[in-house]
Amino acid sequence: MQKLTGSILLSLLMCQSAIAQTGSANEPVRYIGGVTVDPSVHDGRLRWAIGVENRQVLRANRSHPALADNFGWTYNHAPFIAYWNHQFYVQYLSNPVNEHEAPGHTLIMTSKDGEHWSMPQEVFPPYQAPPGVKIPEGYNGYMMHQRMGFYVAPNGRFLTVAFYGHTEHPFREGGIGRVVREIHKDGSYGPIHFIRYSSYNQWNESNTSFPFYKQSTDTGFVNACTALLSDKLMNFQWLDEDSGNDDFYPNFKTYKDSVNALSYFHRKDGKVVALWKKSWTALSDDEGKTFSKPVKVPTLLMAGGKNWGQRTKDGRYAMVYNPIETQEYRYPLALVSSDDGIIFDDLLLVHGEVPPRRFYGRWKDFGPNYIRGIEEGNGIPPGNDMWLTYSVNKEDIWVAKVPLPVKYKVTGPVADHFNGPLEDWNIYTPQWAAVSIVNNTLQLADKDPYDYARAIRVFKESTTVKLQLKISPQQNDHGMLDLDVTDRFGNRPVRISFSEQGYITAQDGDSVKQLLKYSPGKWYNLSITINNKYYSITVNHTPVLQHAQLAEAVKSFERLSLRTGPYRNLPNRKTPNQVAAPPLAGADDPLPPAVFNIDDVLIQ
């Protein structure tokens, strides 16, 4: 074998180094944490990003539409979020039952504070073709599909956009075009226009239902649309639907079948990082006019759920996605964070709940999915938080507020008296199972027949715990509250309950013991001491359980969990996803509320 000369060897080594260089076009991002998801549980056994508030902003309701969206449609998905004119906007698309079915429309809801949300308002109605224009052969109706929702133009105009196509395949030949309308500061909406027609067809003003944007007499609106068409980063998100059968996306004709659902952020060096589904990434040096060849990043485990990336207000970076390679079971929702937008670490939980899917529908994947945050240029809310939106079970729409900087550890004792804003508690608050501060107490109020309210307090990880808190149930003939002390993986060695039968119970090893009967409106001061073998409880300074065995062995303790329903782990990844079933009985009707007040949480 011929020996390699020094210069040839050096060239080969340099080539190998370039191929492997993290941060280059060969590997734009890398997750280095090593922590992966346990697929057997909803939260993946991940640590929590401390202080995240998960809030349901739309609860689908087929029987009583006035309690949901005034339509009663139960496929709700693909939300987007923006902040403009001192309020939040969430846009999402909706179909009666199934994904990719007719009719389909798009709605928007608003909020001043991210907590209280308006009734959704239809902004792009189901498409009606002009007289004489027939549905092409092979299609059976019209639907909506979009990868972008909002745009704040340089002139201050605020646009919302969406895409009309044919069912069941709105892409390529099935597309019609992208529509746009302006959102005014008074809450009204301008007329609907097309901003771009599908590049695969001969659609134009003569055979579609809305005028082209250039026909508008509003110069400011026209200028805003022109700016959007010129913003290659923003409109690159449109590639999914019209596929660029022209020169609109010149750099991506070769790769358009491998990239889907773009999100992007600017690194500190000015490069733009593109993120797509299924671990695809690329880099741009020219603000999105061209990108490097997309590559799959092997350290990012994901399937068909979206990947959201952004630079956060604290100057760091975050990616949020479902870190597991299962398509129909998209849970949990987690984030990784970074100092430089290249090296990401600390896989932490954002949303770890998977409630029952109340309404069957085609392709309604289990769990929180299709995550999106506020795009660059689409507003900066007050406070030091990252705001996200996603659907759960492609049925309900949720918003999450993630405090910055992202953290997962607590170093000192806990002393929470709820005299101000809720801090450092992770809350899961469906519309019918609210978690809130009421009269300087933490209140869990549950009337949901299939979901629960949950509040979690992370404390300093330790092998021994002294925990005190006060609980006041407002009833004792219905409803329940489970109190668990868990380890960092979510294992539940200590399990105490205010049961539906009106008793305080606790698990001692493999048995459940009744401790005492509780009364409505009375405060119960619980003191719990725990070590790695036993725990004891006093209630109102009276010992009620001594040296109880842990329900399961753990190395340490890290979280207090309060939950108004029993522990659940269904659906799981063996639960059939596409077996038709009737709606869950009574899912659209609230139960009598069960209310529990909590105060003076002390942990050391």
Cα separation, 356 vs 450, whole angstroms: 7
Task: Characterize 360-377 residue by residue with b for buried, 16 or more Cβ atoms within 10 angstroms of its Cβ, and e for exposed.
Answer: bbbbbbbbbbbbbbbbbe
Average pLDDT over residues 224-239: 96
Whole-number pLDDT of residue 211:
98
Query: 319-377: per-residue pLDDT in tens?
Result: 999 999 999 999 999 999 999 999 999 999 999 999 999 999 999 999 999 999 999 99
pLDDT above 70 coverage of the chain, percent: 96
Whether the pLDDT of residue 259 is over 90: the answer is no
Q: Residue range 22-27: average pLDDT?
A: 96
Tell whether the model's pLDDT for residue 267 goes beyond 70: yes
Mean pLDDT of 491-497: 98
CB contact set of 467 (below 8 Å; sequence gap of 6+)? 485, 526, 527, 528, 529, 530, 560, 601, 602, 603
Helix, strand, coil share of the chain (percent; to 5): 10, 40, 50
Q: How confident is the model at residue 245 (pLDDT cuts 50, 70, 90)?
A: confident
Work out the pLDDT band at 2, boundaries 50, 70, 90.
very low
Average pLDDT, the chain: 95
CA distance linking residue 435 with residue 597, whole number of Å:
10
Q: For 333-373, what is the HEC assignment?
A: EEEEEECCCCEEEEEEEEECCCCCCCCCCCCCCECEEEEEE
Q: Which residues lie below 8 Å from residue 280, measured CB to CB, with a gap of 6+?
A: 258, 259, 260, 294, 295, 296, 297
Give me the mean pLDDT over the 575-587 stretch: 97
For residue 254, pLDDT beyond 80:
no
Cα–Cα dist 499/480, whole Å: 5
pLDDT at 15: 46
What's the pLDDT score for residue 257? 66
62's CB contacts (< 8 A; 6+ apart) are 72, 73, 74, 359, 583, 588
The per-residue pLDDT for range 140-190, each reduced to its tens digit, is: 999 999 999 999 999 999 999 999 999 999 998 999 999 999 999 999 999
- pLDDT at position 527 is 98
Residue 560 in this model has a pLDDT that exceeds 80 = yes
Predicted confidence at residue 13, as pLDDT, reads 37
Burial class (CB in 10 A: 0-12, 13-18, 19+), 279: buried
Give the burial string for 388-421 (b: 16+ CB within 10 Å, else e): bbbbbbbbbbbbbbbbbebbbebeeebebebeee
Q: What is the pLDDT of residue 19?
A: 57
Checking if the pLDDT of 403 tops 60, the result is yes
Q: Please give the pLDDT value at position 17.
A: 42
The 10s digit of each residue's pLDDT in 79-116 is 999 999 999 999 999 999 999 999 999 999 999 999 99
Report which secondary-structure segment, H or E, holds 486.
strand 481-486
What H or E segment, with its residue span, contains residue 235?
helix 232-235
Distance of alpha carbon 557 from alpha carbon 300, whole angstroms: 29
